[in-house]
Every structure is written in structure tokens, then in C-alpha cells.
Chain A
């Protein structure tokens, strides 16, 4: 475990809070992109030894999470002329507060789990959990479909952090499959958002409530 890992993870956590606090869609996308790049770097520094798979994963993360997805999403909002997330379902300040509480809870939960010697004292596990939680928060509190996709991205970022600790458990092929799935998933979501705009003239998910009991 490199000494660089923990500071990087702290930055990741700060980006989480930023994402929860921002009301601008573009800023959220940029934040997610930054987080993606940071994760790529993290992949390079997480283990003392640098193997081929580390490099490949790092490259994949930077290209997809840092560049491709944000670009895709940015394109979508350019077409849509969406600028601002209107007030989220529970307000920005409460969602920030909840995010902070969630981060604290993640730390507590992670500390209740026994860590492998390599991760003793590191922020990998709590950082991963906190990021997953942040993703969840974005998904449940943001009205715009596009912000929800950002939330999903952040959630996946959390998983990525967790996965970094276990790179050797994942064969390369599976790792590629995971990234591919993620890519296709985001892509499909992008397509749906596009259709949504055509069908409803908006990507406000509040409108998507006609299917119910």
C-alpha cells in the first residue's frame, strides 16, 4: 500500500461531498470525471508492485470513467440545454448533511470489519463504502435523469475502489467484462435519456410516474 493512496482517497471523499452539494449538472459531471481520473491514478499506486493488470485497469478507468462517460453525458446535456439541477428532492443542505453522516457511518461500519493486514489503517474500504453511499444518495435525491446517471457512475466508482484492493482476485477477462458492462450500461442509459427527451420533452424523472398501482 503506497503512502499516496490515502491522500488520494481523501480527495475522492471530498469530491463526493462536492457532488452532493452542487446544484449544477455540468459541475457534477466534471466532478465525476475528476473522480474517475483519480481512481485511475489510485490503481497505479494502490499496490507496491506494479503489474500489467494494474496499468490496464488504470488506463481503462481513466479513459472510460475520466473521459468517455463524462463526454457522453456532457454531450447529452448540451443537446438538452440542461444547466441546473432544480432543487433536489430533499434540498442541497440536507443531502450534504446526509452525505456527511453516511461517510461517518461508512467509516464506523468499515472499522467494525476486520481488515487484511495490507489495508490496516488505509481508507480503501471506508472510502469505497462512502462513495457507494454517495452514489446512492445522488440516485435517490436527484430529479434529472442525467444526474441519476452521474450517481450511478459514482456508485460504480465506489465499487472500483473496493475492487482495487482485490485486483488479483479478478481475472483480467472478468475485469474487462465489468468495464464493458459498465460502458454499455451508461451508453444505454444515455440512449434512454435521449428517447426520454423526445418522448416527454424533458428528462425530469418526476414525470415518469404513470406506472403505478
Chain B
């Protein structure tokens, strides 16, 4: 029992080795590798269930000879909260990968993909059950580097190389922040273990500020909080889709987990921590979805939605922190439960969306939204999966996204009703922001779904697309079913949430959030579905009663010869909304010059590069690089100069230190 999770980690870590069978036996190796991942995931899921009910049964505490290290494995409800989606999504992704990235189609890198996939999953699981900083960081980096190798799978393409370098640099920046964080924590507590008790009492104000800033940067970089999200769109867009699903669905959440876990060390955090997190959440949420609106690349668009959803999670977590600072358990419970449930939900629906997007890419060979269209008829299962994912990610009832957003909303309304100025400000800022985020998400996903799956195909390749096979639709079905289950019966997951929240803030009562109203929500959802059924049945009955003519073109206000090219494009659809946010998004337009009565053929092209990366970080690099290069003038090859440096060093050192 104790070794359930470590066994799962070992199985997944070694799964890729099984995949290294010689080319003749590649398919067997592939099946073996995926089988191991699935087996490991099953053990892991079992372990995470145990973690909810009997955390102590999974505790492992062994000495480890490295300085400061201990093999301290602890699976409490908080870990389980993150472990469960990890294992679920990774198993789904692994099965999907069998058909999406087989050795037969990718002889050069499919084995590597499977190897790194297993390692990444193992790293993720290690992060989640480590209760010692050294173990945590080992898991952290295995995860990050495994994902790096996965992102760089198709490194022959320059775009992929760029994305993987940006990812590597970003993840290292985060890891270094964590070095600092744990170093500082060690300086305060004298230990690198997570069983710290209250840190706050022993730390000075400056140290507390430092700790939070380091944690926010380190974990925020991984989570992709705006403006630390720079690596995210490129990495998600360029990785194989099941990897994108794993990264977006689970890997980002490690940043959230880190924040949740480490803030739990502080029973009364400074108020500004929560406020800062809420601020980050609002910015990430709104700008994330705004960026998503302007994207042409299906997977980049989904990636920006991850930024948005992480923003929602940060909003909930920030609310919980504010609640803890102010001693308001209602805020803590609702905020945290909302954030944690959204971790599950986002893991499920974003993985679903990425898998569906991957199916589209697999079938059509393009990620360009404006080249797609009409896939709903050609890939009905994929289209349905994407529709479910879209409705869920927009936070619309009756699916799961709504439940977590509802919890956050309830917390925000609660905060807004508080007499404390910081609390009601958080509520007054958060609730409308969340509403705006939701509405923009609807706009964005209607756009994607409409342009990709509805209407007519915009290119010949798309026209010939076929539905993907069962290995790919199966995982999508499983994820979609999970979305629906949580949406329709949210009360089922409340005990788990309550335990996790209780682990985070022991002062909370055993029950967080309005379980009763969630039961009512199920009823309301049932009513909604019933009404939909009734209306649909009526319409079907009427359609049968009166003849329906189907074989006609779209009316199009009487235009006789509409072509697919005349359809509304994704860019046009989002143009007005993107225009509203132009101050932050800085979209660029390439407008053809039309001159004369018979102008040349021209193409309007808009693009929405990442502002933080494109306008801030890369220019900064471009600025600093030559500055540093200028320093090189100091070593122009003359040995005289070098000797002079030594003389200067001797004289200066003797003058300074004697």
C-alpha cells in the first residue's frame, strides 16, 4: 500500500524503456510502453483515492544521503487532488499517442516521445508526492526537461526550435526562483522538509515578501500566469498534441500545486499575497482569452486559453489567501474549492480539446484555423468531443466548467459582501472580470468551433479529411464523459474537495461550499437537459410532420453562387473584440495596397504575436545581447592587455584588502 504511488512512478518512468525495442518489434514496444503507463496510472489513481481517505497509509520517510535531502513521500488530500487528473489525463494521452504518434509514422522520434512522456509523467507524480525540497526539485526538473524534449520533438523546424528554447529558458528561470525560495525557506526554518509547521512566525517581513515573490515567479512561470506565460503558447502549439494535452492539462497545474502547497505553510499570510494573486488572475484571465481570440493557430489558441483558466484558478486561490488573511473561512473554502475543482476541470476539458485539436491536425495536417471548416460532417465524433470541451471550457452549464466557476463566483460575491475594503474590492473586481472572461471565452470558442467544424471546408485537404480511429476517439470520449459527470453531479466530488481544502487550511470546517446547492444545481441541470430534449423532440416531430427540404444552398440573402471562401473567417469574427483590447494586444495588420481601378490581387493578413515575448522580452534580449557583446572588446587577443589585467588585479586587490 505504502508503495502504491512510488510503484506508479517507477512504472511510468520506465515505460519508455520498453518502447526502445528494435524497429522490427516497434509496435510491440509501443503497446508495452503504453500498457505500462496505463498500469502505472491505474495504480496511481488507486493511490490517489487512498490519499483522500487515509493519507498516513502512503507516507514514506527514508533517509537520503544528499545534504538536506530526505526521501519523504506524502500523499495527502491536496496531493491526491492533483494526482488524480494527472494519472487520468496521462493514461488518456498515452493511449491516444498510440495512434497519433506511432513509430510507423514517426520512425525517428516516436520512441523518444514515449520515453520522455513516461519520464514527464513520473516527474509530475514525484513533484506531487514529494515532501522534501530536494525530492521536489528533482521531480520538478525531470518533468520540465522531459517536457522540453517532448516540445522539441520536431526540432527540424525552426519554429519548434524557437519554442523549445524559450520554454527551456523560462523553465530554468522558474527553477532558479525555486532554488532561491527553498534556500530562503531553509534559512528561516533550518529544514528542507515540507513538514514545517508555521513558518510565518519565524520569518521577518522582508523574508516573507521575498518568499512570496520567489514562489510567485517560480511557480507562476510554470503555471503560465500573465506576464510569465511567454513560453506557453509556443510550447503548446508545437508539441505533439497528446503532449500538449498533458502539458496544458496537468503540467501547468504543477505551478498551481506549488503555490497551493507552499502558501499552506503560512496560516496568516500577508494580505497583499492574495491581492497580488487575484490581480494576476484577473490579468491572466482577461488578457489570456483576449489573446486567444486573435489567434489563427488552433493549438496556440487553446494554449492562451490555458493562461485564461490558470487566471481563474489564481483568482480562486487568491481569494482563499485573502480569506485566510482576514480570517474569513467562507472565502477560504469557496475560493480554494473553486480553484481546486477548476484544476480538475481544466485538466479534463483542456486535455479533451487538445486531443480533439490533435485529431484535426492529424486528419488535415494544418493548425491554421482559417484553412479549416466543415469538419463536423467529416469527423463527427471529434466535432462532438470538441463541442463538449468548448461548452465546458466556457464555463457553461450543464458541464463541469460551470461548477468550479460557480464556486469561485460564490466566493467572490461573499467577498464583495464583506465589510473589509480589501475583500470587497477583490469581489468587486473579480466577479465582473470573471463574467467578462466567461463571455469572451464563449466568443472565442464559438468562433473556433464554428470556423473549424461548421460551414464548408476552406481547403481541399480539409475536404478529404476522415474521422480518426478508436484509439484516438476513445480517450476523448472518456475525458468528455468525465466533464459531463462532474457537471451533472458535482456533489460527488465535494468530499474530495473538502478534504483537500481542510488539508490546506485545517481551521476550515469539514464541509466547504454549499453542498446542498450543488445538489440543486444537478436538478437545475437536469431540468435544462429535459427542456432541451423536449424542445428537440418537438422540433423533430414538427420536421417529420411537415416536409423539410435539405438539398439547397445557404440562402445568403439571395446570392446565387456562394463559395467557401466567402465564409466569415476566424479573424473577422474576432476583429471587433480584438480591437477593444488593441491597447494590450497590439495586433499587427498587413493590408494590401489597392491602387487603380483594377487592383492586383491582395491578401489581408493579421497576426497577434505575444506582446510580452515579442515586445518586452525579446527586445530586451536583443538590447542586452549586443551590450554584452560589446564587453568582448575587453579581450581582443592582445596578451599585453591580459597581463595588464593581472597587474591591475594585483594592485587593486592589494589596495582594497591588506
Q: Do chains A and B touch in the complex (CB under 8 A)?
A: yes
Interface of A toward B, CB cutoff 8 Å: 89, 109, 112, 136, 139-141, 148, 205-206, 208-213
Contact B637 A141 (CB under 8 A): no
Task: Name the CB-closest residue of A to B650.
Answer: A136
Interface check B169, CB cutoff 8 A: no
With A140-B644, A141-B640, A208-B638 already in contact, 15 other A-B pairs whose C-beta atoms are closer than 8 Å: A89-B640, A112-B658, A139-B640, A140-B643, A140-B647, A148-B639, A205-B639, A208-B639, A209-B636, A209-B637, A209-B638, A210-B637, A212-B636, A212-B637, A213-B635
Task: Name the CB-closest residue of B to A145.
Answer: B639
> What are the residues of chain B within 8 A of A140 when measuring CB–CB?
640, 643-644, 647
Interface check B652, CB cutoff 8 A: no
B420 to chain A, nearest CB (A): 58
- A141 CA to B635 CA in the complex, in Å? 17
- A89 CA to B629 CA in the complex, in Å? 26
> What are the residues of chain A within 8 A of B638 when measuring CB–CB?
205-206, 208-209
Contact B643 A109 (CB under 8 A): no
Contacts A109-B654, A206-B638, A208-B637; A213 near B632 (Cβ below 8 A): yes
Q: Which 10 A-B pairs have the closest CB atoms?
A: A209-B637, A213-B632, A212-B637, A140-B643, A140-B644, A139-B643, A140-B640, A212-B636, A136-B647, A209-B638
Task: Name the CB-closest residue of A to B638.
Answer: A209
Q: Which of B367-387 contact A (CB under 8 A)?
A: none
Task: Name the CB-closest residue of B to A152.
Answer: B643
> What are the residues of chain A within 8 A of B636 when measuring CB–CB?
209, 212-213
A108 to chain B, nearest CB (A): 12
Q: What are 27 residue pairs bridging A and B, where the CB atoms are less than 8 Å apart in the complex?
A: A89-B640, A109-B654, A112-B658, A136-B643, A136-B647, A139-B640, A139-B643, A140-B643, A140-B644, A140-B647, A141-B640, A148-B639, A205-B639, A206-B638, A208-B637, A208-B638, A208-B639, A209-B636, A209-B638, A210-B637, A212-B632, A212-B636, A212-B637, A213-B629, A213-B632, A213-B635, A213-B636
**A211 touches which one: B637, B643, B654, B658 (CB < 8 A)?**
B637
- A115 CA to B629 CA in the complex, in Å? 47
> What are the residues of chain B within 8 A of A209 when measuring CB–CB?
636-638
Chain A binding surface SS class: helix
- A138 CA to B314 CA in the complex, in Å? 66
- A104 CA to B629 CA in the complex, in Å? 39
Digitize B569-612: 1 where CB-to-A-CB distance is under 8 Å, 0 elsewhere. Answer: 00000000000000000000000000000000000000000000
> What are the residues of chain B within 8 A of A212 when measuring CB–CB?
632, 635-637
A204 to chain B, nearest CB (A): 12
B452 to chain A, nearest CB (A): 50
B626 to chain A, nearest CB (A): 13
> What are the residues of chain A within 8 A of B635 when measuring CB–CB?
212-213
Q: Which of B12-35 contact A (CB under 8 A)?
A: none
Contact A205 B643 (CB under 8 A): no
B243 to chain A, nearest CB (A): 38
Q: Which of A141, A211, A213 has the most CB of B within 10 A?
A: A213
Digitize B616-657: 1 where CB-to-A-CB distance is under 8 Å, 0 elsewhere. Answer: 000000000000010010011111100110010000001000
> What are the residues of chain B within 8 A of A109 when measuring CB–CB?
654
> What are the residues of chain A within 8 A of B629 when measuring CB–CB?
213
- A187 CA to B629 CA in the complex, in Å? 38
**A205 touches which one: B640, B647, B658 (CB < 8 A)?**
B640
- A202 CA to B306 CA in the complex, in Å? 66
- A208 CA to B635 CA in the complex, in Å? 13
> What are the residues of chain B within 8 A of A206 when measuring CB–CB?
638
A126 to chain B, nearest CB (A): 14
> What are the residues of chain B within 8 A of A136 when measuring CB–CB?
643, 647
- A139 CA to B642 CA in the complex, in Å? 10
Q: Which of B255-311 contact A (CB under 8 A)?
A: none
- A205 CA to B643 CA in the complex, in Å? 13
- A212 CA to B637 CA in the complex, in Å? 5
B624 to chain A, nearest CB (A): 16
